[in-house]
Amino acid sequence: MEPVMAVVVGALFAASVYMMLRRSIVKLVIGLILLSNAANLLIFTVSGLTRGAPPLIPEGLEVPPDAWADPLPQALILTAIVIGFGVLAFAVVLIHRAYEVVGEDDMDQMRSTDT
Amino acid sequence: MSVAVALPVLIPFIFGSLSLVFFNSHAVQRWLGVIGTGLLFLATIVLLHKTWTDGIQVMAMGSWPAPFGIVLVADMTSAIMTLMAGMMGFALAVYSLPSISRDHEAFGYYPLMHLLLAGVSGAFLTGDIFNLYVWVEVLLVASFALLILGGERGQMEGAIKYVTLNLFSSIMLLVGVGLTYGLTGTLNMADLAVKLPEVEQQGLVTVVGMLFLVSFSIKAAAFPLFFWLPASYHTPPVAVTALFAALLTKVGVYALYRFFTLMFGNDVGYTHELLLWIGGFTMVTGVLGAAAYYEIRRILAFHIVSQIGYMIVGLALFTPMALAGGVIYIVHNIVAKTNLFLVGGVIYMMRGSYDLKQIGGLWKTRPLLGVLFLLPAMALAGIPPLSGFLGKYVIIRAGVEVESWGIVAVSLGVGLLTLYSMVKIWAEAFWKAQPEEHAARAERFEQALSQKSMAIMLLPIIALGVLAAVIGLAAQPVYEMALVAGHQLLDSTDYIEAVLGVTP
């Protein structure tokens, strides 16, 4: 399973970078969304994929009897998803507002503050 | 277990929430801003004092022991950085009173300022790399909102670049955190310091280290990843820019210091050589960029980049003295650079423009402001006996000791060019006569500025200017403190023992 996931994560990263390099600010945000999902999947994959083994300890034992799925990466991903959601919501509002103020959705027209 | 470590995070959160409760009463928010940051300042002084007298302070959140729970740790570097956050928060809360417009207050300037300070203090104090990511996001979200308060065109354009690149760097940080967990099975910094050297394939550790390097270099605005900074930092109100300049890039620098001393010291020959080049190029490109501009805020924004270079060089030389020099330089830079932005804000309030070609004649009418500009400007350029001299002296001395002649020459040359930029602002804004075609606007702004606002704005400027001189004059105690910080960074035994309770 891991090699497949690795390819998926790589493809997501590639797609997101491609989207971010486009000139349209909408595509920029789509790129950011893909990027944050790629990172979440990557954490999920690198910490090892285990099927159907909840990290529960039966009564009378100190440690789980068999191999178990590590719950920590899932907690990390959950936190990262929530943070990513908040930040991306901000980014969507920002591009909407920028479009209203500038009147363009083209990154190349947004150069007045550049160096 | 020490509660003092958690206070710098808790206080801004409490006062930020209180400001939200009084969202419609701006007078209450202003008072909460000053009192909250004042308390934060006191708490950080107490924390530094405790760290200085009793050694590294640790607090396990929810009493979960490290490495399983999240710990807050204050060693000398963290404590000094947090002190600077508290001090700048207080100075800027006072400065904001007359300089932030009513519109900005109505959109929640004060709650966001508290949130930013909480995020910065958390990032400086945490002992867990995922928790660091969370704090970085907290301060980023606050900074996003502060950056676009007001919603002018320039702010929107700057914000898009700022948001994109900072999100990108946060994702890189998150990826690095995930890969580190995959390699070692832990996220605690002290535990990582023990386990990363035990990883079989050290090449992988270096690769993950590079991810962190790129991520924090973007946040610190190091060469060649700094372009978001000069594109966005000059757009918001000057109190916001000063807050960003004081603290945000320093979080990146602090994280570089933490990661590349405590955890990723496995391949110093490669990583720190790279850091040395990055530092050198950051200095040169920043200072050359500043030389090309005639807008005060843009000049100062480029100087942020240039000064970051010195801090990275302090890390790259990797001796106790160089690290101590880096810590002194961070302190000096926060004091001097913030102060310059504050003076720039006052100049704007009196002339209605940041463009050096449109202003002048300030020395004649306001000699006090001229002196107050010269203090941080000369400190930034490294003129003795001000704070910048001490910082540059220690870093360059460390460079001479390891016979890294190239970086010594670059540092000295960049110091000279910094002086050129500062003298340019001085000559144009203070010495030159006010250009006739813009005299009417200057007159109008000068009349609109009340004596009371002026006095309140000058308070933090005077305090920070005096502080820059004091750091330079009281070099011995400052250097001793920074040297302890440098030793703690280089030799992680104490840190690991304080957090994990075992001697490695």
Beta-carbon contacts of residue B53 (< 8 Å; ≥ 6 apart): none
Of A94, A102, A115, the CB nearest to B289: A115
At residue B434, the pLDDT reads: 84
Question: Looking at per-residue confidence, does A27 or B437 come out higher?
Answer: A27
Residues of B in contact with A20 (CB under 8 A): 164, 168
At residue B364, the pLDDT reads: 86
Instruction: Report the SS3 class of residue A24.
Output: strand
Of A39, A83, A94, the CB nearest to B159: A94
Helices B451-473 and B475-490, interaxial angle, to 10°? 70
- Rounded Cα–Cα distance for residues B388 and B329 (Å): 7
Half-sphere exposure (CA, 13 Å, Cβ side) for B380? 35
From residue B58, alpha-carbon distances to B39, B346, B459 in Å are 21, 41, 35
- The 10s digit of each residue's pLDDT in B443-488 is 888 888 888 888 999 999 999 999 999 999 998 999 999 999 999 9
Q: Name the minimum distance, in Å, from the CA of B478 to any CA of chain A.
A: 37
- Report ipTM for this prediction: 0.93
Cβ contact A112–B298 (<8 Å) = no
Q: Name the minimum distance, in Å, from the CA of B189 to any CA of chain A.
A: 16
Residues of A in contact with B145 (CB under 8 A): 90
Asked if residues B162 and B235 have their Cβ atoms less than 8 Å apart, the reply is: no
Cβ contact A39–B144 (<8 Å) = no
At residue B500, the pLDDT reads: 87
Q: Which of B286, B319, B324 is nearest to B302 (CA)?
A: B286
CB atoms within 10 A of CB B89: 30
Going from N- to C-terminal start, the domains of chain A cover 2-49+73-109
Q: Is the bond preceding residue B67 a cis peptide, omega within 30 degrees?
A: yes
Residue of A nearest to B142 (CA): A87
Question: Looking at per-residue confidence, does B66 or B17 come out higher?
Answer: B17
Whether residue B178 lies within 8 A of chain A, CB to CB, comes out as: yes
Of B152, B154, B160, the CB nearest to A94: B160
Cβ contact A79–B130 (<8 Å) = yes
Residues of B in contact with A112 (CB under 8 A): 153-154, 157
Residues of B in contact with A39 (CB under 8 A): 171, 174-175, 178
At residue B1, the pLDDT reads: 63
Torsion of CA B429, B233, B465, B316, to 10 degrees: -120
Q: Is the pLDDT of residue B194 over 80?
A: yes
Q: How much is the mean pLDDT over chain B?
A: 91
Residues of A in contact with B298 (CB under 8 A): 115
At residue A35, the pLDDT reads: 94
From residue B74, alpha-carbon distances to A1, B36, B51, B83, B124 in Å are 42, 21, 7, 11, 8
Asked if residues B162 and B169 have their Cβ atoms less than 8 Å apart, the reply is: no
Whether residue A51 lies within 8 A of chain B, CB to CB, comes out as: no
Q: Which of B190, B423, B195 is nearest to B290 (CA)?
A: B423
Cβ contact B156–A97 (<8 Å) = yes
Q: Is the pLDDT of residue B414 over 90?
A: yes
At residue A86, the pLDDT reads: 92
In DSSP terms, B58 is beta-bridged to: B73
Asked if residues A75 and A55 have their Cβ atoms less than 8 Å apart, the reply is: no
In DSSP terms, B74 is beta-bridged to: B57
At residue B432, the pLDDT reads: 86
Cβ contact A32–B164 (<8 Å) = yes
- The 10s digit of each residue's pLDDT in B61-119 is 888 888 888 999 999 999 999 999 999 999 999 999 988 888 888 888 999 999 999 99
Of B130, B145, B160, the CB nearest to A98: B160
Amino acid present at B192 = L
Which tokens is B481 given? 């403190």
Q: Name the minimum distance, in Å, from the CA of A36 to any CA of chain B.
A: 6
From residue A104, alpha-carbon distances to A110, B58, B95 in Å are 8, 51, 36
Q: Is the bond preceding residue B224 a cis peptide, omega within 30 degrees?
A: yes
Q: How many CB pairs under 8 A join A and B?
A: 104
Which tokens is B357 given? 């070609």
Whether residue B148 lies within 8 A of chain A, CB to CB, comes out as: yes
Half-sphere exposure (CA, 13 Å, Cβ side) for B276? 21
Q: Is the pLDDT of residue B329 over 90?
A: yes
Window A:56-95, CB contacts with B under 8 Å = 72-73, 76, 79-80, 83, 86-87, 90-91, 94-95
Q: Name the minimum distance, in Å, from the CA of B83 to any CA of chain A.
A: 28
- The 10s digit of each residue's pLDDT in B198-246 is 888 888 999 999 999 999 999 999 988 888 898 888 888 899 999 999 9
At residue B45, the pLDDT reads: 95
Of B153, B163, B231, the CB nearest to A114: B231
Cβ contact B130–A86 (<8 Å) = no
Cβ contact A35–B178 (<8 Å) = no
Of A83, A91, A112, the CB nearest to B153: A112
Of B152, B163, B187, the CB nearest to A94: B163
Mutation target among A94, A95, A100 for the B interface, most CBs of B within 10 A: A94
In DSSP terms, B57 is beta-bridged to: B74
Cβ contact A46–B182 (<8 Å) = yes
At residue A49, the pLDDT reads: 82
- Rounded Cα–Cα distance for residues A81 and A85 (Å): 6
Asked if residues A11 and A94 have their Cβ atoms less than 8 Å apart, the reply is: no
Q: Name the minimum distance, in Å, from the CA of B172 to any CA of chain A.
A: 8
Which helix (H) or strand (E) segment is B58 a member of? strand B57-60
Cβ contact B174–A43 (<8 Å) = yes
Whether residue A15 lies within 8 A of chain B, CB to CB, comes out as: no
CATH of domain A2-49+73-109: 1.10.287
pLDDT bracket for residue B378 (50, 70, 90): very high
- Residue segments in chain A with a per-residue pLDDT below the cut of 50: none
Residues of B in contact with A46 (CB under 8 A): 178-179, 181-182
At residue B504, the pLDDT reads: 58
pLDDT bracket for residue B190 (50, 70, 90): very high
Instruction: Report the SS3 class of residue B69.
Output: coil
Q: Name the minimum distance, in Å, from the CA of B153 to any CA of chain A.
A: 6
From residue A16, alpha-carbon distances to A21, B177, B397 in Å are 9, 20, 45
